[in-house]
Structure 1
Amino acid sequence: MEELTLPVWLTTAVVSGVLVHQVIFKRFEVDTHPVVIAVSFFSAPSFLAYILRHYTVQYATSSTITAWLLVATFTSSVWMSMLLYRGFFHPLSKFPGPLPARFTKLWALTQAAKTHLKWYQVDAELHRKYGDFVRTGPRELSIIDPQAIPLILGFSSKTFKGPFYDSMEDSVSTTRDKIFHKQRRKVWDSSMKQLLTTYSPQLEEFTDTLLKRIKINLGKAITINELAVHYSFDVMTQLAYGQSEGFVDGSCSEAANKFLSGMKNGVDAIGLLNQVPWMLTLLTTFAGLGGPMKAYNDWSNQALEDRKKRGMKAPDLMEQLLQNTKQDRKGNSLLFAESRVIIGAGGDTTATALSEIFILLAHRPEYIKKIREEMDPIFATSKYSCQAVYPVLESVINETLRLYPPVLFGSPRVTPPQGLQIGDKWIPGDMVVYMPSWQLHHDARNFVDPDDFVPERWTSKPEMILNRSAFLPFLIGPNNCPGRPLAMMELRSVIARTLNEFDVSFPLRFEFEEVKFFRNVKDHFLAGVPKQDLVFTARKS
């Protein structure tokens, strides 16, 4: 039998590359398995060299070089086929957007890096230039058309979570399995409902500790971000593991301090890599080898094991989750992942909101006065409860969450196989779409004077809210935040009780520029608020 010549081998490699792209890469989310692809690529030359060495004569002495040449040819063929398809024949070709974004999500990563993690600002500029539908990746659209909100995020939506969620551990927040999510969400909702009936006194104890720390530092500059993080993480570690870590009063362990520092150091990487999910998958896969996430994972795993042995000493969310989770390997992995969801999602978002509210109140003291006018009679009659809704206080909280949302991530979804009709736009099936909350919150079609801080829109000026469904700090639909009631309890407790005892202001001779300050907020999945010192003093009026 005559041996194949090199041109035939190369032609076969080219044809194989095109077929692999057409049959596999176009039809499956292979980018969610970067380790498999990497292993296949680097092992292929050895396999080919073995074939060439043992089953051919003319390539026996140059088998390794020939094998690498064939693999390079195959890879180039895959990429050429992919780039041609993405650039000129893709179903999203009719949608406008920057040219490089058609070919690779690496363009978005470079923009995030170039703007120092301000992708939400890049995205906003793209919408100003191209309109409501912008192609931001090979199979990705950023959408701000208000009509799309219920279709993409609502309870009746037929979309699925995007491939980004495969880069993280499976949990109620990250699973892409709708059936599992529905079952697990019932456990979470039931657990939260039971917890909130008994948790108020414990939450107020955390606020007591916070107020003591403020008293110790009266008249001194306090970094509000740090104070807010310590408070929210004390609340969340107690919820997740039945025991507060003592960040506010300074009694926390060295391991807890290390994990908190690790989280702070790791968020910038997440802010970049969430643009390219397969890179984030690699980061998650190899987190156990070292880096900031390892300290967090090690600490949380040990904290959960200790919680299981210790049992429940005070109300916590983990009690119900433990009772409704099988105690096997899969169940333990789920509990570990969800305990980290409680800490990460619950702690950072509330801390961001607290920081922003206090900064805005220091800048706009007239709202301190309005909150006190509402709350003073309530405190005087001992009828205060962090579970109750107080219109003025609630309006300041809601307006802060609208104007400067703590979560900037667009929560990507995949369109159903049959596609999705939004107004006069048809989105093909199996495309990634997302709706950025910052842009929706700042859209004049949804809110009158969207760039202005007007808490009254939530009370005496409801006509300033044109589209209530566009208010997305906790998302909407089946994937809305299960911790919303608790987060609001924390915000009410801290803001109301702090203003009841203290005045808050900026340090002397410090000139605060609101627009400039908030333009420096980073987008690393959550909002990264610049550090800001505030001064608390005894209340004068």
Structure 2
Amino acid sequence: MEALELCRAHREALLVAVGVLSGIIIHVTIFIKSEWHLQAPHIFLQFCALYIAFPILANNLQDSLAGEIFHGLATWAYGYLAGLVASILVYRTILHPLTRAGYPGPWYAKVTKIWHVWAARNSKNHLVLDELHKKYGAFVRTGPAEITVFHPEVFMAVDGPRSECAKAEWYDIIHPSMSLVTTRYKPLHAARRREWNSGFTTKALLEHEAKILKYVDKLDQCIEADAKSGKITDMRNLLLWFGFDIMGEFVFSKSFGMLETQKWHHIIVRLQRALSLLGPMTPLPWLVHIAFDLAPRVSVLKDWFDIIAWCQSQMRDRLTNGSSNQSQDLAYYLMEKDAEDRDAFESDKFLWAAGDSLLAIVAGSEPTAVALIAVLCELGKHPEHTDQIYEELKDVDALDLKTLVNLPHLNAVIKESLRLHPALLTGGNRKTSDTGLTIGGRFIPPHTTIVAPRYTIGRLEDCFEQASEFIPERWTTRPEMVLNPAAYAPFGTGHHSCLGKTLALDTMKFVLARILKNYRFRPAPGDDSLSALETVRDQFTSNPGILKLQFEIRTGTT
């Protein structure tokens, strides 16, 4: 009996040793050499089988051959897990190129990104990274294979014409759906971007701007009604409704109708809930995929998939029934303009257009609304700039874009607001190629994720004098205050820059010109600090807090 027990102990020790060795070998030869976030759900299920199902089966089938087999597999699995974890820890803390290069950062960041989910749980990732910059400097190791770079050269380095960087794993967020924004394969992105370009020609922009002016009128009517009745205006809601209504028209030729009803559209409410996932979960793409694959109908995850399905149905309806007006929309430029037949949407091209429609609605509506909220907050805190813009506007046509483009202080205020309050606070991660990358004299090893937080870089004191202060004159009469213009990149750089930049800026000018020419405004009672920007949440795009203003119609306007 003792010999049998000894033999069993030796066998289990051997199985554990083989498991440990297997874990090390699999990590070194397989896991360490490629991306695994898309396979995370399958790996998770395999681990559940190894560490939950096999021990249970071994226990329930005792004194049988099957029980012995499952017991052996479970024993091997414990050794495998120990070897895998040990190999990961040794590699990340001692052998990893970022460790050898001596990049500073929290000690736990070498081991895992799970800390980042906890730190960003309140969707304040821009402040989390800003604190790390203050503590560790311009280059901070924020993950096992991640560097956060607070240096003005980073934008051109990762997105410039000579860059070999690709989009990082986060951009597989809607996999297997496809879109221009999330495409990681460069040739495919370049081809798709060429198709998008047709929707942003001079002729197309004129058509889009004509639509925008209709919604500027509706926005103006809402503000005027509040001003006449003495009501407080909820500008956050109005501007978000405005942005989404425009993008519904831009994408599907169908407005969400929120400015007219003064109510949130049900699908936009669900979209807002779904986007809340992107705040705390952005640091761990693999965890997002586990949740999406294994619990797609649970709580806020259901909202995400319902929104994708809704965009697909809207695109299919638009392509089946045609546009509701005479001007062209995104569906026309991406699907109909060069299509040989009306059945084109049955191909992969439809899947592209459906994915693009979701990203266009998010990327085109929220950032514009956020930027307008930022401008109004800053003007509320610094009313002297409102007066200066009014002096530029009072004798000109607020509907003439050529005139608005040449108003120096209006444009400087917009530019300064975008510097301090970019719509993309920390998002836009890139990944270095096989050759690595040098930024600011520091070499970043191959296959390293690079985070470039616009929020902090736009406030660097060695790039802007009085960097945290709202001083629009730095873009006009005091150019010496801009020490390094490379730090200003609110719309991105190079071939990954925002295609809708011109349209977004034009929209902002139309809205601000109409509001500032027709109204005076002040903070609503109880919110003198205009806290919308202090309560902003980083959810890939920024999500500001409530902004309530008291408007007064200027004398001589209606």
User: How far, CA to CA, are the matches of 1:108 and 1:13 in structure 2?
Assistant: 31
Residue deviations 1:203-258 (CA, integer Å, cap 9, x gap): 10111111111122222112211011000000001111111111111187xxx722
Q: Does 1:513 align with 2:526?
A: no
Q: 1:109 to 1:95 in 2, by over 3 A?
A: same
Q: Does 1:280 align with 2:318?
A: no
Q: Counterpart of 1:470 in structure 2: which amino acid?
A: A
Aligned to 1:353: 371
Aligned to 1:151: 157
SS at structure 2 position matched to 1:124: helix
Alpha-carbon distance, 1:69 to partner: 3.0
User: How far, CA to CA, are the matches of 1:283 and 1:344 in structure 2?
Assistant: 21
User: How far, CA to CA, are the matches of 2:244 and 2:491 in structure 1?
Assistant: 19
Aligned to 1:443: 460
1:209 to 206, 218, 221: 218
User: How far, CA to CA, are the matches of 1:60 and 1:287 in structure 2?
Assistant: 32
**Relative to structure 2, which stretch is displaced further, 290-299 or 402-411?**
290-299
**Relative to structure 2, which stretch is displaced further, 516-525 or 431-440?**
516-525
Aligned to 2:25: 19
Q: Does 1:315 align with 2:352?
A: no
**Relative to structure 2, which stretch is displaced further, 87-96 or 66-75?**
66-75
Q: 1:250 to 1:261 in 2, by over 3 A?
A: same
Aligned to 2:447: 430
Q: Counterpart of 2:539 in structure 1: which amino acid?
A: H
Q: Counterpart of 2:535 in structure 1: which amino acid?
A: N
1:493 to 510, 514, 524: 510
Residue deviations 1:334-356 (CA, integer Å, cap 9, x gap): 11110001101111111111112
SS at structure 2 position matched to 1:201: helix
User: How far, CA to CA, are the matches of 1:285 and 1:200 in structure 2?
Assistant: 40
SS at structure 2 position matched to 1:26: helix
User: How far, CA to CA, are the matches of 2:130 and 2:401 in structure 1?
Assistant: 41
Aligned to 2:313: 302
Aligned to 1:8: 14
User: How far, CA to CA, are the matches of 2:527 and 2:259 in structure 1?
Assistant: 28
Superposition map of 1:467-482 within 5 A: 467-482=484-499
Residue deviations 1:318-377 (CA, integer Å, cap 9, x gap): 211113575344222211110001101111111111112122222222112111111222
Superposition map of 1:72-471 within 5 A: 72-93=78-99, 94-113=102-121, 116-168=122-174, 169-193=177-201, 194-218=203-227, 219-250=230-261, 257-285=265-293, 288-290=296-298, 291=300, 292-312=303-323, 313=325, 314-323=327-336, 327-379=345-397, 383-384=400-401, 388-471=405-488
TM-score of the pair, normalised by structure 1: 0.91
User: How far, CA to CA, are the matches of 2:405 and 2:322 in structure 1?
Assistant: 31
Q: 1:89 to 1:522 in 2, by over 3 A?
A: same
Alpha-carbon distance, 1:89 to partner: 1.3
SS at structure 2 position matched to 1:233: helix
Residue deviations 1:262-319 (CA, integer Å, cap 9, x gap): 1222233210000111122234446752532234223222221221122122331221
User: How far, CA to CA, are the matches of 1:422 and 1:309 in structure 2?
Assistant: 50
User: How far, CA to CA, are the matches of 2:401 and 2:53 in structure 1?
Assistant: 72
Equivalent pair of 1:59/1:66 in contact (CA under 8 Å):
no
User: How far, CA to CA, are the matches of 1:237 and 1:128 in structure 2?
Assistant: 41
Q: Counterpart of 2:283 in structure 1: which amino acid?
A: Q
Equivalent pair of 1:159/1:415 in contact (CA under 8 Å):
yes
Q: Sequence identity of aligned pairs in percent? A: 27
User: How far, CA to CA, are the matches of 1:33 and 1:277 in structure 2?
Assistant: 11
Residue deviations 1:123-176 (CA, integer Å, cap 9, x gap): 111111111110000000001122333212222211111111122242111111
Alpha-carbon distance, 1:484 to partner: 0.7
Equivalent pair of 2:374/2:533 in contact (CA under 8 Å):
no
TM-score of the pair, normalised by structure 2: 0.89
SS at structure 2 position matched to 1:31: coil
Equivalent pair of 1:52/1:59 in contact (CA under 8 Å):
no
User: How far, CA to CA, are the matches of 1:110 and 1:384 in structure 2?
Assistant: 46
Alpha-carbon distance, 1:45 to partner: 7.1
Equivalent pair of 1:362/1:506 in contact (CA under 8 Å):
yes
Q: 1:371 to 1:185 in 2, by over 3 A?
A: same
User: How far, CA to CA, are the matches of 1:391 and 1:287 in structure 2?
Assistant: 52
Aligned to 2:550: 535
User: How far, CA to CA, are the matches of 1:264 and 1:423 in structure 2?
Assistant: 38
Equivalent pair of 1:154/1:478 in contact (CA under 8 Å):
yes
User: How far, CA to CA, are the matches of 1:415 and 1:118 in structure 2?
Assistant: 26
Q: 1:128 to 1:71 in 2, by over 3 A?
A: same
Alpha-carbon distance, 1:414 to partner: 1.0
User: How far, CA to CA, are the matches of 2:458 and 2:185 in structure 1?
Assistant: 29
Alpha-carbon distance, 1:383 to partner: 4.2
SS at structure 2 position matched to 1:92: helix
Unmatched segments (≥5 aa) in structure 2: 1-6
**Relative to structure 2, which stretch is displaced further, 273-282 or 341-350?**
273-282
User: How far, CA to CA, are the matches of 1:503 and 1:122 in structure 2?
Assistant: 36
Q: 1:320 to 1:368 in 2, by over 3 A?
A: same
Q: Counterpart of 1:539 in structure 2: which amino acid?
A: R
User: How far, CA to CA, are the matches of 1:502 and 1:373 in structure 2?
Assistant: 13
Alpha-carbon distance, 1:384 to partner: 4.9
Equivalent pair of 1:447/1:466 in contact (CA under 8 Å):
yes
SS at structure 2 position matched to 1:189: helix
Q: Counterpart of 2:329 in structure 1: which amino acid?
A: D
Equivalent pair of 1:361/1:504 in contact (CA under 8 Å):
no
Alpha-carbon distance, 1:75 to partner: 2.1
User: How far, CA to CA, are the matches of 1:366 and 1:532 in structure 2?
Assistant: 20
Equivalent pair of 1:223/1:534 in contact (CA under 8 Å):
yes
Q: Does 1:525 align with 2:540?
A: yes
User: How far, CA to CA, are the matches of 2:272 and 2:527 in structure 1?
Assistant: 27
Equivalent pair of 1:287/1:293 in contact (CA under 8 Å):
no
User: How far, CA to CA, are the matches of 2:52 and 2:283 in structure 1?
Assistant: 33
Q: Counterpart of 1:318 in structure 2: which amino acid?
A: A
Equivalent pair of 1:321/1:335 in contact (CA under 8 Å):
yes
Equivalent pair of 1:241/1:318 in contact (CA under 8 Å):
yes
1:31 to 24, 30, 37: 37
Q: How many residues align?
A: 530
Alpha-carbon distance, 1:202 to partner: 1.4
Aligned to 1:61: 67
SS at structure 2 position matched to 1:171: coil
Equivalent pair of 2:249/2:329 in contact (CA under 8 Å):
yes
Residue deviations 1:388-435 (CA, integer Å, cap 9, x gap): 443221111111111111211231111111121234321111111121
User: How far, CA to CA, are the matches of 1:537 and 1:287 in structure 2?
Assistant: 50
User: How far, CA to CA, are the matches of 1:251 and 1:368 in structure 2?
Assistant: 27
